[in-house]
Amino acid sequence: MKAAANRLRLGIWAQVILLAVICLVWIYPLLWIVSASLKDSLGVFSGGLGLIPETFHFENYVRAWRDADFGLYTLNSVLITLGTVALVILRCALAGYVIARRNFVGKRVVVGVLVATLFAPGGLTIIPVVELSDLMGLLNSRTGIVLALAGSGHVAAVLLYAGYFSRVPRELEEAAVMDGAGFLRTFFRVMLPLAGPVTATVGVMTFLAAWNNFLLPLVFTFSRPDLRTLSVGMLAFRGTNSTDWSGLAAAGTISLIPLLVVFLLLQRYFVEGVAGAVKN
């Protein structure tokens, strides 16, 4: 018995070592970015496997922060991304819930359209989106960006919610109704909290897409540079004849940090916040 436990421990540590090596290789390109952000303009090209710069050039960060107005852009990115994530979670969870649980007239049409659009190539939609937003007076506003980001696609999120809700036992809902909860209360008090893992997944997916989206925020902020996001701000480093690689790397490192924080936080939520209701 003890020997078996020891073998198990050994196996685990072998796994840890293997994973550690894989992960180091995995993040090597990212370490490379951090390393490049500390080099001078020619040092970036020194080549080789090594990552430690000869001299540390922290001024790249100063340049990234000041020249590219990164303070303001970070704020915009955060606001726009959070707005988008909230809206997507709300609308997709609502839609997913009724699709999974309700047998309403026109359901087949709704699901059919959703699935069909899943495969529409994305690149072309920008022109009609701009035309429409212009018509509604939504250009040059963060709201307009959030609506457009939250409105386009996210079919996968609806399907994820629908799939999840369809597996929740009916009894839970019925119990809530017995307690006198209405439709709305049942959803917000019982069903949505149950869907924690899906919400986390959808949240991460949407966060990434919104944070990294380039074309839409660019187009929506032509007349209002003060509304730009980080990904648009990166433009400043890529000029006609030259690219400021170390500045770009510094900016990339800066823009990576909020994402890492978000992921670490949400990950804890995956691990610990698995809805207790399932177990019960």
Partner 1 sequence: MTGQGLAARLWSERWAYVFLLPTLLLFGAYTVWPIISSLYYSLLDWNGLGAERPFVGLENYREAFGDPLFWQSLGITLTIIAVTVPLRVALSLLVALVLNNPRLPLARLFRTALFVPAVTTTAIIGVVMGFIFDPAGGPVNQLLVDLGLVDQPIDFLGDPSTSLWTVMGVHMWKWFGITLVYWLAALQTIPVSVYEAARTDGAGSWAALRHVTLPMLKPFLIIIALLTAIETMQIFDLVLTMTNGGPYFSTLATEVYIYQQAFATSTPRLGYGSALGVLFGIFTLVLAAIQAIGIRYANRARSSS
Partner 2 sequence: MTTLGRRRFLGLSGAALAGALGVAGCTRTSTQEAAARAADGGGVIRWWDHFQPLKPLHERIFAEYAKANPGVRVEHEVYNPNEMGQALQLAFKSNQIADVHSVAGLGLSEAALVASGWLAPLAGAEAIRAKLPADSLLEGLHIFDGKVYTFPIFSPRQYTTLNWFNRELVERAGGDPVNGPATWEEFRAIAARITRDGGGKAYGWIQGLAFHERLQVHVVELAMSAGAPLAMAQGGLGELGLVDPRTGEYVYDTEPFVQALEFLLSLVRDKVVFPASTSLDARTARARWATGVAGMFFDGSWNIGVVNGQFKQFVDKVGVGPIPSPSGKPVLYGAPAPGQLFVSSQSRHVEAASGLLARFAGPEYSKELAAFMDQVPLDLEAVKRADVHPTYKRAVELFGQAVRLAPSPLVRNPAIAQVMSEMKSPRPTLGELTQGILSGEVTDIRKALREYTGKMAAERERALKEVSGKGVKVSLDDWKFPNWQAGQDYTAEMYR
116 binds partner 1 (CB under 8 A): yes
- Tell the smallest beta-carbon distance from residue 197 to partner 1 (Å): 4
3, 29, 240, 265: which one contacts partner 1 (CB under 8 A)? 29
98, 172, 177, 218: which one contacts partner 1 (CB under 8 A)? 98
- Tell the smallest beta-carbon distance from residue 133 to partner 2 (Å): 8
DSSP for the chain reads -HHHHHHHHHHHHHHHHHHHHHHHHHHHHHHHHHHHTTS-TTGGG--SS----SS--THHHHHHHHHTTHHHHHHHHHHHHHHHHHHHHHHHHHHHHHHHH---TTHHHHHHHHHHHTTS-SGGGHHHHHHHHHHTT-TTSHHHHHHHHHHS--HHHHHHHHHHHHHS-HHHHHHHHHTT--HHHIIIIIIHHHTHHHHHHHHHHHHHHHHH--HHHHHHTTT-GGG--HHHHGGGGB-SS-B-HHHHHHHHHHHHHHHHHHHHHHHHHHHH---HHHH-
Q: Tokens 């919610």 map to which residue?
A: 161
Could you give the C-alpha distances from 248 to 41, 64, 128, 233, 243, in angstroms and in order?
A: 11, 7, 32, 10, 8
94 binds partner 1 (CB under 8 A): yes
Q: 178 vs 264, which CB is nearer to partner 1?
A: 264
Which residues contact partner 2 (rule: CB under 8 A)? 41-42, 44-46, 126-127, 130-131, 133-134, 139-140, 215, 218-219, 222-223, 225, 235-236, 238-245
Chosen from partner 2, partner 1, none, partner binding at 223 (C-beta under 5 to 8 Å by type): partner 2
1 binds partner 1 (CB under 8 A): no
Residue range at the interface with partner 1 (CB under 8 A); choices 59-67, 101-109, 170-178, 218-226:
101-109
159 binds partner 1 (CB under 8 A): yes
129 binds partner 1 (CB under 8 A): yes
- Tell the smallest beta-carbon distance from residue 199 to partner 2 (Å): 34
Chosen from partner 2, partner 1, none, partner binding at 156 (C-beta under 5 to 8 Å by type): partner 1
- Tell the smallest beta-carbon distance from residue 5 to partner 1 (Å): 11
- Tell the smallest beta-carbon distance from residue 129 to partner 2 (Å): 10
- Tell the smallest beta-carbon distance from residue 227 to partner 1 (Å): 19
